Chain A
Amino acid sequence: MPVSSDTRTVSDSLTADAGTPFLDVRDLHVHFPTDDGLVKAVDGLDFTLARGQTVGIVGESGSGKSVASLAILGLHRRSKAKLSGEILLDGEDLLTVSDERIRSLRGNQMAMVFQDPLSALHPYYTIGNQIVEAYRIHNAVSKDAARKRAIEMLDRVGIPNPNRRVDQYPHEFSGGMRQRAMIAMALVNDPKLLIADEPTTALDVTIQAQILDLMKDLQKEFGSAIIIITHDLGVVANVADAILVMYAGKCVEKGSVDEVFYAPQHPYTWGLLASMPRLDKDRSERLDPIPGNPPSLINLPSGCAFNPRCAHRSEVEGDLCRSQVPELLEARPGQSARCHIPAARRADIYAQISGEERIPVPDQISAPVQDLAQDHVPVPVQDKSSDRKP
């Protein structure tokens, strides 16, 4: 898939003010050859991420979120996956470096927090043992020093009694504590890039909030870049600076959190927002799910992959939705979408379907949108809107 030059400038401008991009993913493809055909799990993904910034990757199951993150860590190397494109971490292309080099980066420069901490922690080794192992593989230190470090990290992520807990096994931890331990393990080497794959999905809501707060605090402290993968828009609204919405292996919309929440451009994003419960709506109103199922990644619908589920196909003339794959084009400064509907029409349609007045398209997104949010615009996650960075 050709990458339009627009795309690059868009994504660069997203993070340009925060410094040169630390992570730069360019036209990433991850394809799995199977007996049934080629599964295009990730098909042309571009994004950049600066130090201290958080990007949220959102999408349904099977949209390629996790596959993309595993590709960054180089965890597809031993599998049959075919990768192409570029993943530049601090200028170094992770797709072409040696296995040994990427292994030394893994867990050190870039670390990952997995979804279900019970199955992601080894049941036969103590929490301390597993953290010590992660530390000592990248640092030539004594066992005692590593143990001290493990206790320090457990303390840092808010595990009470770390001196005792360090010798316990994962099954002796509660779900939230396990995820904290997992985060401690990921952060033990002060990674510059932290990938959190659905870090709160297996946790209950109060613990979710604690874990997200913890991640925000740790980011402030360590200045890591964070990729947070989730299907929960509330999580993204809470922690992310930028959002990347994925559908069928492609990025369909990206922009800052404010932009995507207040002026979403892609019908799929509209669907995601409409399917979220909201505090400002009448409780008797039903949630509005997106009809249909995610498409098979082997036989994608022709044209826009979302077209069979899209209610706004009639907006586009000449049935382009079914015949031509839309490019990821800038819709507004700093926000781009992959949709044939003319950019000018989108705001009208969204205002209509969300039952709100038409949202004016501001030139500068930061302050005006914040004001709008307080006046008319629906705020998907009410309690978090105030502490979002402008």
Chain B
Amino acid sequence: MLYYIIRRIIAAFLMLVVISIVTFGIFYGGPTDPARLTCGKNCTPASIAANRHALGLDKPVTVQYANFARGLVQARTFPDDPVFARNNPDKVTHCPAPCLGYSPLETKLVTDIVKDRLPVTLSISLGAFVIWIVAGVGLGIVAALKRGHWQDRGIVAISLVFYSFPAFFIALLMYNYLSTQWQLLPPPAYVSIFQDPVAWFQGLLLPWFSLAALFAAGYVRLTRAYMLETMGEDYLRTARAKGLPERTVIFKHTLRAALTPIVTVAGLDFGGLFAGAAITETVFNFQGLGRAVVTSVSVFDLPVIVALVLVAAFFIVMANLVVDVLYGVIDPRVRLA
């Protein structure tokens, strides 16, 4: 099992390296000129060239990637030019490791941008995840146990409605009715949990519910399907033939087998959410990673784009790793593989 985990960690690391190379290659090797975008209307060929040099964009892509990769373990300075640094020591930005780069458009270190926005995204995803797992899996189990009854039909019908609407529609609907018109939920706003936990909780309720409603709908159907599939298994007949009470048959024998595939999907969805729920963040005006991705792409803020893609990849790869390990814990047949 330990060997299996180590092997998976190595594979995950290699995966991230490959992703970083591909991402970097796509954005920096592509036909965009970030230097052209640094000075707006005041650009002159000379200032563009100066900025290009200052940002290191005049170097070959391979060298730029090597600098970027080194920055992950070693401090960098921007601009990376000893002559400039000697003449204007106050204009040099120091970037301690791990350094994800410098955004000339935001005049900020990318690391700081990620640090500012990650807690917002984490807060949204974590809360939404808890709600959607509890609601989605719970209702899915109820639907499966009451198959064919009105409870089942109702749950499936409602989940289908939520599943069919686009994310922004549900978010706007909830915002308008739950918060603005009926004032059931406090208006959404992000407050750090360390500042005011109550305000943090209240401010996040709306994004949590709107995001969770969307995901829970899918999980209801998924859980119901897996439950029904497992309920037809021969080993449940054996469990009943042993004289086990129905409670044990359902919660011990059925649930464990039925939830295994859900763990996979949930892990990946959760990891994916860390990359940012762009639509939800935009609707509720939360400055999370998802917003940052949308903004940076629209203005070709290459260092930010590359860093955010890597952060997203990191979380997804990690989620994958956790799911694989969990799978081995849940299903003994996977352990030997």
Contacts and interface: CB of A to CB of B under 8 A. Distances in A.
B333 A123 contact: yes
A185 B235 CA distance: 13
Contacts of B233: 119
Contact of B235 (A106, A120, A126, A171): A120
A121 B241 contact: no
Interface stretch (B152-160, B205-213, B242-250): B242-250
A142 B307 CA distance: 57
Interface residues of A, number: 29
Interface in B323-337: 330-333
Interface string B295-332: 00000000000000000000000000000000000111
Contacts of B331: 123-124
B69 interface: no
Contact of B234 (A104, A105, A120, A169): A120
A104 B243 contact: yes
Contacts of A73: 241
A112 B241 contact: yes
Nearest to B244: A137
Contacts of B243: 103-108, 134, 137-138
Contacts of A134: 242-243
Nearest to A121: B235
Interface in A81-125: 103-108, 111-112, 114, 116, 119-124
> Chain B binding site: helix, strand, loop or mixed by DSSP?
helix
Contacts of A112: 238, 241
B235 A123 contact: yes
A38 to B, nearest CB: 19
B228 interface: no
A75 interface: yes
A133 interface: yes
A169 B333 contact: yes
Contacts of B115: none
A73 B1 CA distance: 41
Given A169-B332, A169-B333, A121 B244 contact: no
Contacts of B246: 78
Contacts of B256: 124
B242 A107 contact: yes
Contacts of A70: 237
A114 B245 contact: no
A75 B240 contact: yes
B62 to A, nearest CB: 49
B131 interface: no
A122 B235 contact: yes
Nearest to A74: B240
B253 interface: yes
Give the 10 A-B residue pairs with the shortest CB-CB distance, closest first: A107-B243, A106-B243, A107-B242, A119-B234, A134-B242, A122-B235, A112-B241, A120-B234, A169-B332, A120-B238
